[in-house]
Structure 1
Amino acid sequence: MRPPRDAAETRVHDIAQRLARHQRCDRSGTLAPALSDPLMARLRDFVQAGEAVHMVLPAFPAKSPSRRKVLGTLPDLAEALSLDALERLCARIAAIHPAGARLTICSDGHVFGPTIGVSDPVIDQYQAGIKDMIARRGLRHLDTFCLLDGEHLHGTAAPTPEQRRAALMMRHGHPLADIRSELLRTDGGLRQLRGIIRFMAEDDWRPDDPRSATQIQRHAKSRAYQVIQHSLAWGNFLQQRFPRSLRLSIHPQAHGSDKLGIHMLPTADAWLTPWHAVAVDLGDRTVLMKRHQAENQGARLVHVEGRPSHYRVWPDQRRRVLQDRAAA
């Protein structure tokens, strides 16, 4: 049922305020005063039509291959609490808008697999774990979508992930040379590139690695361009697949962007995600940290149902951990 125009506009602004509270800060540490015009237009379209607000979030690809960052290859408390946060966001929108809200997690693991050094079977296990968490935790506002669900990407009935990646790049990708020149043209593009290079270098580093830091950085840079190339292709495909939906991102976004960068859990690093980190229970709240940071600060590993789940900081350690986070 369509709400009256004045009531619809009030709902639009109330929902926009809810979404804005979850923003990832830009480089300056400040938040945009409101959603961008493109996001407001999409939000208004759903509300005025009396339809559930639909959001898409490219996220939850696979755990980082670096054991300095994460506990293993399967989802753990970091993912569980992040999914809970997305569910709460949808529920808060539904409390404003009777037609409700729905969020589709567009897992991009198979999009990046070879480039980030994670095999397709490991990605399959991670994504199955995410689906299981959503079901077991009763997160009724969330659903999932991945590269293997895009039936019209390839003509065969059951193409392999490699075939899907090739079809994605052929139909929605752009040449690396064009992407390089575009990234280097703007401050936002350079920040994105540097952030991904940092992540790739961290994921690639091993204690026994014979390569120099310069060689690791150079290799990370070449793969970072490929990650961005595949990410843009995936974004183009999602725009075609979900043309009306609000696009969310796990990365900070520039003011005026047609995407909204959002936080799921508190973190001192605006680029840190549940799949590049561990959950650390501070007693009054849970935050994300890289595994080696949690261990260096004396946090203790907690197992749940026989599997590593998260870290816990005891009361006598909490002040030091908070001071270290504030200085990060």
Structure 2
Amino acid sequence: MKFEYAPDEVPQKVVKILKRFSLHQGQDGQEIGKVFDSVPEKLKVDIAANQPITMVLPAFPWKTPNQDKVLGEGADLGDELGLASLNHLCEEISTVYPYGARLILICDGPVYNDLVGVPANEYYDYGIQLRNIAHEKRFSSIHFIRLMDLLGLGDGEKVSKADYLRLVPVCRDRLMSPPYCDPKFDVDQELKTNPDTMATYEGYFSRISEDLKWANGLDPVVASDPALYATEVSKVAKTMINRLVVSLEVLTVCFV
């Protein structure tokens, strides 16, 4: 294939495209953090090998159960537009890099679903609907993978629904065990010392405060008492931080 741009120009052009598709500026217009500083060097690996730029995104775990935000538990036009945007991102990269890009979408339902009261069968069906949308709309740059694949528990794209549901607790147990899980990790200490972790916690707390009351299995006493509810939300948010750290370790092992 012929490069329209010199290979050493491509990384910065790809970064410009990534910035167009992301929220990376505060209200003052200043860039938040140094999100893109390490990206050019990582891009050079794929470019040097003349292979598609590979991006990994843990996302689309399920539809929120909060009926103030969604029409139902199934995939809808909002999900289609989200997938379309991600596919378009890859298409835009192909305008500056002839080998194009692909996005591996990891629907990480088992990481958190038990914490927020989303049944496994619901998010499994939602994941199938996402795959059907991507196929029907020819979003060919998007590839799906399940957590069980990364943990060596089988081919998540071929396993039956019944077998998948049987493996959900196995996935979670393996995720929260060595070598991925550090038993010495102290989420409270991490929140005190790491501003990025605190920002993530605050984001989780805000969203969970809105959504947890809709969760299956939430104690009505907790839901009706503001103090108990806030305590439960904080507990869930901290557990999500813990699992986020572990799941990122899995991604690092598998893709870095």
Deviation, 1:174, is: 3.1
Once the 2 structures are TM-superposed, how far is the Cα of residue 215 of structure 1 from its aligned partner? 1.4
DSSP 3-state at the match of 2:204: helix
CA contact (8 A) 1:197 1:224 kept: yes
In the TM superposition, residue 170 of structure 1 has moved relative to its aligned partner by 0.3
| Structure 2 residue aligned with 1:254 | none
> Is 1:220 aligned to residue 233 of structure 2?
yes
Question: What is the rounded CA distance, in whole Å, between the counterparts of 2:48 and 2:35 in structure 1?
Answer: 17
| Matched residue SS, 1:160 | helix
Q: Identify which of 181, 191, 204 aligns with 1:183.
A: 191
Question: C-alpha displacement at 1:184, in angstroms?
Answer: 2.2
Structure 2 partner of 1:198: 206
Between the aligned partners of 1:237 and 1:118, the Cα distance in structure 2 is: 22
- Structure richer in helix, relative to its length: 2
Structure-1 separation of matches of 2:251 and 2:2: 27
1:165 corresponds to 2:178 = no
Aligned ranges for residues 3-152 of structure 1 at < 5 Å? 7-25=6-24, 28-29=27-28, 30-31=30-31, 36-150=36-150, 152=152
For 2:92 and 2:14, the matched residues in 1 are separated by: 8
1:121 to 1:180, Cα distance in 2 relative to 1, 3 A = same
- Worse overlay, 115-124 or 173-182: 173-182
User: Could you say if the C-alpha distance between residues 34 and 49 of structure 1 is closer, same or farther in structure 2, counting changes exceeding 3 Å?
Assistant: farther
Which residue is 1:230 aligned to?
243
Runs of 4+ with >4 A deviation: 1-4, 26-29, 32-35
Deviation at 1:35, TM superposition (A): 5.6
The one-letter amino acid paired with 2:135 is A
Whole-Å Cα distance in 1 between the matches of residues 33 and 152 of structure 2?
Answer: 39
Letter in 2 for 1:204: L
Amino-acid identity (%):
24
Give yes or no for contact 1:16–1:34 (8 Å, CA) kept in 2: no
Residue type at the aligned position of 1:230: R
Contact map agreement 1:173 1:233 (CA 8 A) in 2: yes
Partner of 2:104: helix, strand, or coil? strand
The two structures, once aligned, show a CA RMSD in angstroms of: 2.5
1:256 matched residue in structure 2: none
Query: Unpaired segments of 5 or more residues in structure 2?
Result: none
Distance in 2 separating the partners of 1:176 and 1:81: 41
TM-score, normalized by length of structure 2? 0.84
The match for 1:315 is none
> 1:2 deviation in Å?
9.3
Which shows bigger deviation, 173-182 or 119-128?
173-182
Question: In structure 2, what is the Cα distance between the partners aligned to 1:151 and 1:32?
Answer: 33
Rounded to whole Å, the distance in 1 between the matches of 2:33 and 2:176 is: 36
Structure of higher RCO (CA pairs closer than 8 Å, 6+ residues apart): 1
The one-letter amino acid paired with 1:240 is V
Deviation of 1:143 (Å)? 0.7
Cα 1:50–1:3 shift into 2, 3 Å: farther
For the residues of structure 1 that align with 2:190 and 2:92, how far apart are their CA atoms? 38
CA distance in 2, matches of 1:150, 1:44: 24
Q: CA deviation at 1:32?
A: 5.3
- Partner amino acid, structure 1, of 2:9: T
TM-score (norm 1): 0.67
CA distance in 2, matches of 1:176, 1:92: 43
Structure (1 or 2) with the greater strand fraction: 1
Q: Distance in 1 between matches of 2:127 and 2:138?
A: 17
